[in-house]
Amino acid sequence: MKIKPGGEVLGARVEGIDLGRPLSDTEFRQILRALGEHGVLCFPAQELESDAFVRFGRMFGELEINVANSFHEPGFPEVMVLSNMTENGRPVGLADAGQGWHTDMSYSRDIALANILYAVKVPMRAGQPLGDTQFRNMQLAYEELPGDIKRRLAGRTATHDFAKFWDMMRSRPGSARAPLTPEQRARKPPVSQPIFRTHPITGRTILYCNPGYAVRIDGMAEAESAELLAFLFAHQEQKKFFHAHAWSPGDVLMWDNIGTVHNAVADYRPDEPRYMRRVQVMATKDYARLAA
């Protein structure tokens, strides 16, 4: 196995490893350390059945079953399907996944360590891949915050709400997302998260406040909260924090869901097929000890 940094603010390629077989303890530790160091890992040219995909994800933590759970692989509720394809006139996956900057599971008391996507079909046009997944480095975003902002927000929390992102996506033209049922809403009530938190692998401080789910800073006047959230969201947008992954079929992309925010680019048409499998790894282990 070779880990090759991409020379950017995020990203590395992990070559010479078949994720279809169980990993050794050494390989697991190397990948975990690389996730903390590089934030986004691409394992190219993989051929994975769903059981092997689930086994790889479970090495890093328990796998989440999405609260809406509209589309998943048969027999594998942990494996969500992201696709614009249809079969017998019905969608086979969630077609509008991820179109907006966010951190998955920040709306949950139990947060996620990582997302893992497996590209089965990648939309193409004129020989070029479409549907990039974009990232921002939230460790660097924290480090480059002005000192007065760090002092004002030290120890503070922000409320994150699942419904904010869901309702925003539902409002987009062509969205097939149904309104959340009362039962789904009850399963994901708003939660408070620290605005600055310690990364469980690296021990570094990161900015954990994303525009997809964060709605207000707790215990702060509404106007001041709105002003500071707008500043934090604009701060994240700086190009020096940015990285994009251009997909190839067979890519498995694993990213740090605590130290980054991400966005999927929807620049492909319905006749340009996209089919991805996704598992989400919850932060359920002592990662500092495992990486040591």
Tokens 């503070």 found at: 156
For residue 199, give its domain range: 2-291
* Cα–Cα distance, 269 to 229 (Å, whole number): 34
**114 or 163: which leads in pLDDT:** 114
* Cα–Cα distance, 224 to 87 (Å, whole number): 49
* Cα–Cα distance, 142 to 221 (Å, whole number): 23
In tens, the pLDDT along 57-90 reads 999 999 998 766 678 888 899 999 999 999 988 8
Give the pLDDT band (50/70/90) at residue 183.
confident
State the pLDDT at residue 166: 75
In tens, the pLDDT along 195-212 reads 999 999 999 999 999 999
- The domain spanning residue 89 has which CATH number? 3.60.130.10
Token readout for 50 is 């769903």
Burial class (CB in 10 A: 0-12, 13-18, 19+), 289: exposed
How many structural domains compose the chain? 1
